[in-house]
Structures are given as structure tokens and as C-alpha cells.
Structure 1
Amino acid sequence: MNKIFNHHLKIWKWAAGLLPFLAGCESLTEINQNPNDLTDERVNPAYVLTSVVTGSATALSDVSFSGNVTQSVISEAMQYTQRDFLEFSVSNQFGWYPVSFDYRSLHQPLSNAAYLGRRAAGNADSLFLKGASLTMQAMWFGIQTSLWGDVPYREANQGTANLQPAFDPQKDVFIGIITDLDKANAYLKQAGTVKSSVLSQADLLFKGDVLKWRKFANSLRLRFMMRLSEKLGDAGLDVKAEFSKMVADPSNYPLMTASEDNAAISYPGTNTIDAWRMGALLKPTLSEFYRIKAGATMIDFLKNQDDPRLTVWFRPVEVQTLVRDKGAETVFAKDEGSGDVKRYIKSYQQGIDTSLYVGLKIALVNPDIYNENIAAHRTEALKLNSAIYNSGAANPFVSYLSPMFRENTHPLVKTVFMSAAEVNFILAEAAVKGWIAANAENFYWQGIAASLTQYGIADGDVKQYNKVTHVRQQFDLKAFESRMRALFNQAPDKTEEILTQKWASSFTTLESWFDWRRTGYPDIAGNIISGSQGKKIPVRYIFGESEINYNTDH
């Protein structure tokens, strides 16, 4: 690689102040050169670290939640959301497109992370750079092998020295990255601190906090060891013993346990480079946003548990349907109290959802008309409130995503590499398996609590939906905790209960799909109405043509 890649070495605008320093102590003439024309040895590794982190955020966001249907289909597969208007047969009914393993946005962050490790030699912060490099490589190798199965690992990232790398068995990839993460923790522990202030500023993930990097690396290691939990006999690694050793030694293996440790990237939202991927800067057409609706499985789960995340993640329907005799069969009128438009029907009709939060049923043949969404009814509603959305993908009788997902920047909208919620659920599952001597119930609750904190929910917040009165009320954290603990203690299958709550907390990420494939939990396949393979959910991405065309040896 003679020149630094273009797009993925652009940094968020809020880090642009770093650029004059990234070439190190060089002359003004050298500093003013175009960074895209700098050769390898001239680019400060701090600049590369920024690229690795921001490029990873962009790529992971697109594949897990914010991308189009050629990129993002897992949210629909896991029934968090459903699409309508266009392309719903691809996402809702699993008509997935092939995706090449070397697809640029998914491979580039991994390649850049490997390059970061090569640039560590001779740097005053070489140990930190090696640790960060191995951590990010492990994350991406783990994602890739989880998406496709067998992928290049041992021969990957060799550039022109090997353009046709061999594919390694998935088990070997996991064992390799588990080993790499152990090395990453050792490098980071030995590093202690980041010496360069420029490097600390360029670290948009943890601001040079080495302890948080160690927590991230070790938590990823637990993630991938748990992913091997169903194959202990042929894993080639004593996963149970290694897992137990780590949890029993927090000084040598610190873990993420609180939301402030989350590995997550915010979006400044000042331009198309640093804006959230679903915001107006990158998706100016409203229909692109509104065609993503809440999934009934997620909505019903949150409503049934009186979970306040419902009102944070999703929007109330613009027009609620209520069963009231107003004379005619269907009457539109404004509510005297709230002023909101309501659709009143004289008697209940099969299939009509009268909640204030309504999700699309899963894999409908025609989701556009769900909940009696017909043009004449939208016209009547618009007469009472012209602000009701009525362009492409309009359905005022079904919940859209929360408006925060339409903003270019929002403090709660981030790309999450890994969260404390996930780690606590992993520990809860390990306790149930007998891998660690710990209270599974406490880890289970701490996982839920960490997710609430992640989304800014605190005791007393007016964020809990009352299913009877259809209004928001104050959230009682203690009462909620009591209900959640009771659910756990009453559950006949503790692992299923843990994985179901973990599924909810994994909203906007890929992790629940990987967990579902490993365990079958949560049991959601039965919700599928008209899937392309009946009640089956896909278990792998489809390899694209690049592997056939350009890696013929393997």
C-alpha cells in the first residue's frame, strides 16, 4: 500500500483540529501536503486510529441497522423492525442479496486495523497501538466469520503479497481471535497510559483511556468464547476454564460492567461525513426513513413488560384507532384532551390494533395496508391535521422509529461496538451454565439496567406507556426491577429468559442474530407470516461473486 486510502482516513469534523499535528514534528510545507498523498511512513498512526474507529462505526452501523436492504437486513430478521413501501420482500421475507466478503465497507476497517498494527513499530505508544489494532481486528474478524462462516484469517491482510488468501474454518478463526484478544490485553496492560496527547485526541472511542480499551478487549473475548459454547468438545480450547479464569481475576482481566464503559461512537452531525447514517444529511428523502416501521414482536414485548424503552425507541402512531360508537362506522375526530387525531370505529374488527404503539406483523404479504391503512382514511386524518405524514411509505396507524433516529446527531444514537448490557447478559448465561460461581439473576438485572442507562432512562422519567389509559407515566425503577427479577425466577428456562432480554437490549446491533443462531432464543420464528422459506430465518450471509471471480484457488 503506497498511499493512504481516501474515504476511511477522513475523520469526523469535530476531530479536524488534529490534522495539523498528525504528520508529527515536520515542516509547515510537509504538514500542508494533501494527507491522501502521504506515503505510509509519513502518516502519524494517530490518524490511522481515527480512521479505524470512524470507518468501523460507519460500516457497522450500515450492516446492523441504518443501511439499505443490500446492507442491513438483520433488524428485520430479528423482528425489531419491518419495512414496507419498497423492498420489503428482501428484508421482511428474506430475499437477501449476496454480499461479497471483500465488500469494501466491511473489509476496509479490518484492513486499516491491521495496518495500524504494522505502523506501531518504533512509536513511543507502540504497545497501545498494537493492543488497539488487535482489538479492532478481532472485532471485525468475529463479525465476518459470524456473518459468513469460513473466512480468510491467517492469510488475511497481506496485500499484494497474497491476493488469494485461504479460507479458515470458523472454529479456527474464533480460537485465533480469542488468542489475539489475550495478547491485546497484555499489550495494553504493559502500555499503562498513552504518552502522546495527539494520539489520545485521535482516539475517538476512549480518548486514550487504556483501561477502557482493556475492558473492551476482554469483553470481546468473553463474547467470542460464549459463541463457542455449543461446541466445547471440538473447540480446541478449554473455553469454560479460560472464561472462568478471566472473570475470577478482574485486575488482570477488567471487563465492561457499566454503561460508561461502552464501546460506542457518537455522530457530530455537521456534514455528510460525520452525520448519523439515517439523518437528513445522508438520507434527505423522508420515505427512506418512514419505510422502516416498528416490528410487532418488539413492540408487543416492550408493551407487555411495561418497558420504558418502548417510548424511547419508537414513535406513537400518528392516528390511534379506538373502538367507540360515534354514529358512523368510522369517524375521525380530534381528542378533546390531547388534540391528537383519532380514528373511531363502531365495533372491533379482526386484525385492528387499537394501541398507541403498533408494530407491523412479521413478513406480511402486503405490509403497506396493515392496520387498515387506506388512502381515504389518511385523507380524513389530514383534514384535521395537515402535519400528518402522507408521502411515500406513509402509515399513520403504525409506529415509526423514534424521531431521534432521523436526526443528524443525537446523544442516544450511536454505533455500539459492544455494551455493558451485553457483557452482563453473557455473565448471566455463564452463571447458569455453571462456568462461573456467580448470581445469574443479578447479572441478568444488571444487563437490563445497563441498557436503560444507555438510553437515558432513569427512575421517575415520564417514559412508561400505560396500556390502559394510553398515556405516558412516571417510570418506577424499583417496581420494574421487581417484575424483571420475578420473571427470571419464575422462568422454567433461565437461559431463554436471559437471551430474550439480551435480544431486546441488542436493538440496533447484530448480536441477537448471532445469539439466536447459537441457541434458538428468543423463539421468534413462529411469528413469520409469509417468509420465503416458510418459518425459517436465514443463518448465514450469502457469499458474493468476488470470492468466485477473484479467489479461485479457495
Structure 2
Amino acid sequence: MKILSKKSIVFVALLTTFFSCKDLTELNVNPNGVEPETVNPNLVLPSVLTETGKAFVNLGYMDIAGVMQHTQKDAWSSGHNDYDWTDGQSWSGYYDILRNNQLLYDRAVDQKLEFHQGVSLVMKSMVFGLITDLYGDAPYTNALKGDLGGVENITPVYDSQEVIYAGIIADLEKANTLLSKTKAEYSSIVDEADVYYKGDPTKWRKLANSLLLRYYMRISSKKADVAKAGIEKIVAGAAQYPIISVETDDATMSFPGTSDGTSWPANSVYDISGSNYRRIKMSAPFVKALQALKDPRLAIWANKVEIPLVVDATLPAGTDKIVNGKRYLSPDKVGTTVIDTDPDYVGLPPSVSALPSAYNLNPTPGQTSFNPHVSFLNDIYKAAKGPLLKSRLVSAAEVHFILAEAALKGWAAGDAKAHYEAGIKASLNTWTVGSNYATYITNPGVAFDKTIKQVIQQKWIASWTAATEAWFDYRRTGFPELKAGPAAKRAVLPVRFYYMKDEMNINAKNATAAADKLETTTYSQAQGKNSPWSKPWLIQGTGKPW
């Protein structure tokens, strides 16, 4: 992990500000002020926010959606379906964001801009939280020190997860105080520079405290007393610790769709062939779960199968024909092949084979196939932008499910049933099907059964396109009870990203020390300590998720 110089930070900050800045150019600032000592914080802020938004959606809609079985791919699928992470996932992009964010914070301190300081601490917490959630121990206290004695610091010491989570909680507490004033009491807020909340300090404060809830619950299996006290303090002090409670306060980022880099990922507007969209299919466990609950969100997220399969024993042997939009088959044409004849929605089973495009008797298997017998994502996901195409960082649904779980643990977090139902309602509203709430909440399997398992299942459903958070919940709780497919690299789901080869080579001493603290499991196998199936501190000794 290379620590860039200050001049490089400014260059990256300005270069990566990819959203339209026409409003920012109207500011009364020196257009040549790009040195770290003079750069306006409002020129750095959009880069921090937009790059973070992209990072989260690129995980939650892409490969981690495969791990958590929201989706599967039927081509170029090994990373998505099978956890074939052979080279390691680089964290350099996350540290780029953090370096820009450190510049934002330093300039805000210089100019005594408390709003910008608070926002920067929230973003620091969010991104460092993501790093340690994904990898385990990581550079933290020495990660953003810049040049050391004129030499770039490329070998920072790693901090333990325990230290990083404690630092995140402390920073969010500080942010809560910094963001406690009315907007009129701050200076230099530029609404257009804040692509999340348009310069609203109240909403930023709610985000800070909602992240506090997230990270208190994250450490609850290792630091139960700390988590309990923290969550109860927030719930009891609602005036001092406002939280995201309605979906209109969700932390989201829309896409302008003006170029490939500013658009929803895997769209078919800038990918003219449509291949990236075409490869993503609904996952069978997700489809089955939604169907069993009669969930109205399924129709928002998925298309119905284009050509359903119908197996009819009365047909002559050798029959395989399409009639009125259905493919009719005699039993001998199917044989022992496992198929899905659901007339509405068909999901692709997880890691079903080395050739997933062949599933369900696809007549054209291969990298360029178009499988008419498995459900594609809804057509809205072809677009470059849209009202539902957002990076979703923290939601009211997540907050309510956290509090429902806390209440079920016996903590003073409010009424578990009320929070569970509020979480579902917030998610249905988000996905435009709120009018179905009264019916849905009474459906078998949805009606509250007082179990954490049910709360986490609904949280998993609500995390559609933000599956990373569901992965972290799965590691901690073992829910939902997902199974790896036959072609997966291991028989169980992975629990972390492993440290990339460059880091293990360049920062060998510190990276090796961090890897040595991981707990090997039966599934670590030849990869040893630094394996996606080795357990970091957060889940060591918990017996979870497997």
C-alpha cells in the first residue's frame, strides 16, 4: 500500500471528481488553488463522496452479490459465483479515498469548518470500516501519514481489528458533536458539493449515529458489553443521538449517467453489447425465498423468465418445441437433468457448474449465450441512471433491523416487533411497493416470529444491491443459511478478502504479521493463514458462520 505525497493527493482528488462540477466552478475561489495548503475543501468533498459511493455499489451489486446469492453470473463467473479470488482484491482504491478525505479534514481544520470536519470523520469511519470488515487487520493509525523523512511510507504497520473498530466509534462520536448545529451556524457549505445530503448537517448527524449502531452491532459477538452499552446509549438519548429512521434520510448516491464512469455499473447504455448486464442472473436461493414470502420486491428486481419450461409426460418421446411462448419437453428430453419449470421466475443456482450458462437446458451455452430459461434482472438495470439506481450506503431498513436484533438480545433498544416491521416497511417504500405492506407483513414467514434468524433474513432481502453488509451479517450470525454450490472453490462461503500479493511482497513484515493472526480453518487448505476461509479477530471463537 503506497502512501502518496500531498501533491499527489490533490491531483487524485481533482482528477477523480467525476460528477458535474459546473455549480462548483461558480464558487468565489481561486481556480488555480490546487496546492494542499490552499485547496478549497468543497473541491475535494465530491471526490470523496462519489468514489465511496462507487466503491460500495461495485461490491454490493457485483461479486459480493454473488457471495450472498442475490445474483449469479452465467459467464465470466468464477469470481462472482465460485469465490475464485486468485490474485487478491486490492485495497488501494479505498486508501486513495482516505487520502483525499484526510486532505478534506486537514483543510477543514485549518479553516475551522466544523461541518466539513464532521462529514470527513463520517467518511473516514465508513471507509476504514469497510477495509477492516473486508480484510481484517489493516494499516490504520499510520496509514495516512504521508511522507516520512522525505521518503514515501510504503510499509505501514497494521492495526488490529479491535483497535480499528474502537477508532471508528470514537471518530463517529466526535462527528456527532461536530454536526450538532443548525445549517445556518456553519460556514462554507456548498449544497452541490454534497452529493448525499445537499449540505444538511442533521442528516449527516443521523448517518454518523446510524454507523455507530452498525459498528456496535458488528463487534457484539466479541465485545457484547461495549455493544450493548453503546446501542442503549443511542436509543435512550434520541435527542443527542438522532438516527436514520425513515427512508427519506437514507445515505444514497444517484448516478448522473453522463459517461461510463458516472453510470450504474454493468449498464447496457455504455456497454453496447449488453454483455455485462446479460451475464447477471437472479440467484435461485434468493428467488425461492422471495417467492415463498410472496414478496412484491421480486417484480421490481427481476424479469419473469422469457420462455418457461414445461415437461409433459403425455407428449411423444423426443418432443422439444416452443408453443405460445413456452418450451414443451417430453420426459426423455430432460432425463436426469435438474431443471426449474417455474412459469414466472427462475433463478440460477449458486456455483452450479463450470458452465453455468448451460443451466435449465439453455440451447446456446457459452460466454455469449442468451439464456431464455433463467430470469434476467429487471430492465431498469440496463439503464445508466434512474430513480432506483443508487449506491445505498446506510438505510432506515438496516437501522431498524439492527435495533430489532438488539431488542431480541434483551438490550434496551425498543420494541423488537415494531423495529422489524418498520424495517420491512422502509424497504418496501424504497422499492416503490409500500402499498403492499399491510398484506405482506401478515404473510407466513413474514409475520414476526421473535427470532434473530427472521430479522437477518429480511435484512438480507433489503440489502439488494448493497449485499456487502449482508455478508458481514452472515459472518457474524450464520444467517441466512446459505450453501456453496458444487463448483465453488470451497464447500462453504468465504469470510474475508485475502491480502493481495503486492502487499505481501512489498510490506512483507507487517502483512505477514497480520496474516499470522488469522485463524486457519478446515477450509483454508493450501492457502494457509492468508485465505478467504481463515477467520479474522471479529469472528474468532464465535463458531460463526460455520
In structure 1, list runs of 5 or more residues that go unmatched.
67-72, 335-340, 379-389, 460-475
CA distance in 2 between partners of 1:514 and 1:207 (Å)? 29
Aligned to 2:438: 478
Correspondence 1:159 to 2:146: yes
Select which of 244, 247, 266 maps to 1:259.
247
CA contact (8 A) 1:128 1:191 kept: no
Q: Structure 1 residues 498, 217: CA separation in 2 closer, same or farther (over 3 Å shift)?
A: same
Deviation at 1:91, TM superposition (A): 2.5
Q: Which residue does the alignment assign to 1:249?
A: 237
Q: Aligned equivalents of 1:395 and 1:144: distance in 2?
A: 36
What is the TM-score when the length of structure 2 is the normalising length? 0.85
Partner residue, 2:124:
137
After superposition, give the CA deviation of every residue in 1:57-96 in whole Å (9 maximum; x if it has no partner). Answer: 1222222224xxxxxx21111111111222x233212211
- Indicate the residue corresponding to 2:95 in structure 1: 107
Corresponding position of 2:301: 313
Structure 2 counterpart of 1:50, which letter?
P
Matched AA of 1:543? Y
**Matching residue of 1:381:** none
What do residues 410-453 of structure 1 show as CA deviations (whole Å, max 9, x unaligned)?
Answer: 11011111111111100000000112252111111111111111
Equivalent residue number for residue 287 of structure 2: 299
**Distance of aligned partners of 1:113 and 1:540 in 2 relative to their CA distance in 1, 3 Å threshold:** same
1:25 CA drift (Å):
4.1
Q: Does 1:217 align with 2:208?
A: yes
Task: Give deviations 1:107-144, integer Å, cap 9, x for gaps.
Answer: 211221222111112436x1111110110000011100
Shift in alpha-carbon separation, 1:484–1:109, aligned structure 2, 3 A: farther
SS of structure 2 residue aligned to 1:120: helix
SS in 1 for 2:352: coil
Distance, in Å, in 2 between the alignment partners of 1:523 and 1:485 is: 15
How far did residue 224 of structure 1 move?
Answer: 0.6
Query: How far apart, CA to CA, are the structure 2 residues paired with 1:20 and 1:359?
Result: 50
Distance apart, 1:17 and its partner CA: 2.6
Deviation at 1:19, TM superposition (A): 2.1
Shift of 1:8: 6.2
- Contact (CA 8 Å) 2:320, 2:329: kept in 1 or not? yes
- Per the TM alignment, residue 307 of structure 1 is displaced from its structure 2 partner at its CA by 0.4
Alignment of 1:111-122 (within 5 A): 111-122=99-110
Q: Distance in 1 between matches of 2:399 and 2:413?
A: 16
- Is it true that 1:16 corresponds to 2:25 in the alignment? no
CA distance in 2, matches of 1:282, 1:159: 37
Structure 1 CA distance, aligned partners of 2:426 and 2:256?
Answer: 24
Distance 1:393 1:220, change over 3 A: farther
The 1:9/1:434 distance shift into structure 2, 3 A limit, reads farther
Instruction: Give the TM-score, by structure 1 length.
Output: 0.84
RMSD between aligned alpha carbons? 2.3
Residue aligned with 1:230, SS = coil
Paired amino acid for 1:151:
A
Number of equivalent positions: 492
1:277, distance to aligned residue in structure 2 (A): 2.0
1:405 is aligned, of 378, 381, 387, to 381
Q: Contact 1:101 / 1:107 at 8 angstroms: preserved in 2?
A: no
- 2:223 and 2:261 map into 1 onto residues whose CA distance is 43
Q: Tell me if structure 1 keeps the 8 A contact 2:287–2:298.
A: yes
State the secondary structure of the residue aligned to 2:309.
Answer: strand
Measure how far apart 1:402 and its partner are: 1.4
User: 1:524-535 counterparts in 2 under 5 A?
Assistant: 524-525=482-483, 528-534=485-491
Cα shift at 1:222 = 0.6
Is the Cα–Cα contact under 8 Å of residues 18 and 198 in structure 1 kept in the other structure?
A: no
Structure 2 stretches lacking a partner, 5+ long:
1-5, 511-546
Within the candidate set 357, 365, 374, 1:368 is matched to: 357
* Conserved 8 A contact 1:294-1:399: yes
Cα distance, 1:15 vs. partner? 3.7
Q: Is the 8 A contact 2:181 2:201 kept in 1?
A: no
Distance apart, 1:347 and its partner CA: 5.1
Q: Which residue number corresponds to residue 137 of structure 2?
A: 150
Q: Which residue of 2 aligns with 1:384?
A: none
Matched, 1:454 2:410: no
Instruction: Establish whether residue 548 from structure 1 lines up as the match of residue 533 from structure 2.
Output: no
